[in-house]
Structure 1
Amino acid sequence: MQYRMKTHPLSEEQITKLLERSQTGSLATINTDGTPYVTPIHFVYYNNKIYAHGLPKGKKLDNIAHDQRVGFSVYEMNELLLDPNEKPCDTNTKYESIIISGNAKRVEDIQVKEDILKKVVEKYTPHLAGKELPAPMVKGTAVIEIDIMEMTGKYYS
């Protein structure tokens, strides 16, 4: 285990708060040749799962269809912690981060997709929450569900 995971772990409550407030994360999938492919995404954390939405076709969806194993991370840098003696190698960072390993799949159930897309609206455009989502838009939008197998968080301040 990494040193900072032992000394600076985020609690479950802190992890949840970071996932709820973070606007973007990075989704890592595996290309058919075995190389990693990382995509910045908007997401919601709901029912202990990560959900993302997007176009119905693309590389990340192709990769998930080929290999469901994914990684996901969120990182917030709050500030640089400069050394008072101005030693450049002693500069540090005040941050919080989360690393997730899991399995992803495309959500096919229309009602689940609509529920998740409503959560996306609540998070990113709360002033539009409660408005009806057009059925063709729900049907035509891809929703990815990440079943979390392992999740760790750490901080430094």
Structure 2
Amino acid sequence: MSSPQLRRTDRAMSEQGAHAMLKRSFSGQLATIGADGYPYCIPLLYVWMDEEIYVHTGSARGHLRANVERDPRICFAIDEPDQVFDYGRFECDSGLAYQSVVLFGKIRIAEERAVKQRFCEALMAKYGKPDTTRPKGFFPRIDMITVYAISVERMTGKEMALPPLSEQWPAQDRTKTPNARA
């Protein structure tokens, strides 16, 4: 597993903040390990349920399923960008306000129909239209999907708040190379 140390401790997000972000973020990127040793990363919709991440795909055995069956180690990441801001005189003196969570864990196939049903209900609660008149809780193709559950072994969150205008350039000059000339 990668280093457990967060290099930018000044940007560390609280565990409570990371959990809140996992509940609200739109999508994530799931990385698995291929048989050839290369990472395979795909964007997926997800739900945070029972202190685990749940995702799904079609039931066809593709690249993701082959990787999961061979090696359950994964990395899952979410991020929410905010605004780019200037902190110095040069273009490269720019920053991005953001929040992100990266977690490492193990993935397994959730085969139990009751878990798949709860996942589908949670997925529709998160992504569906709340004012729909369509039947709720009825998923006739539930047996045609594979639901994956990710147990979290380690999680870190980072955030950079948008500084107030009084702390941005030109009000403040925090150029990283103050002696440089354009």
- Match of residue 59 from structure 1: 63
- Match of residue 138 from structure 2: 133
Alpha-carbon shift at residue 46 of structure 1 (Å): 1.0
Q: TM-score, normalised by structure 2?
A: 0.79
Cα contact 1:53–1:117 (8 A) shared by 2: no
Tell me, what secondary structure is at the counterpart of 2:125?
helix
CA distance in 2, matches of 1:88, 1:69: 39
Which whole-Å deviations, capped at 9, do the CAs of 1:95-122 have from their partners, x for residues lacking one? 0000000000111101111111110010
Matches within 5 A, 1:18-37: 18-37=21-40
Percent of aligned positions with the same letter in both sequences? 29
Matches within 5 A, 1:1-157: 1-4=5-8, 6-57=9-60, 58-85=62-89, 87-127=90-130, 128=132, 131-134=136-139, 136-157=140-161
Q: Structure 2: which 5+ runs fail to align?
A: 162-182
Task: Please tell me the residue identity of whatever aligns with 2:13.
Answer: L
Task: Please tell me the residue identity of whatever aligns with 1:66.
Answer: R
> 4+ residue stretches of structure 1 with deviation over 3 A?
none
Aligned residues: 154
If you compute each CA radius of gyration, which structure gives the higher value, 1 or 2?
2
Give the CA RMSD over aligned residues.
1.6
CA distance in 2, matches of 1:132, 1:7: 44
Of Structure 1 and Structure 2, which has the larger fraction of its residues in helix? 1
- Match of residue 174 from structure 2: none
CA distance in 1, matches of 2:99, 2:160: 7
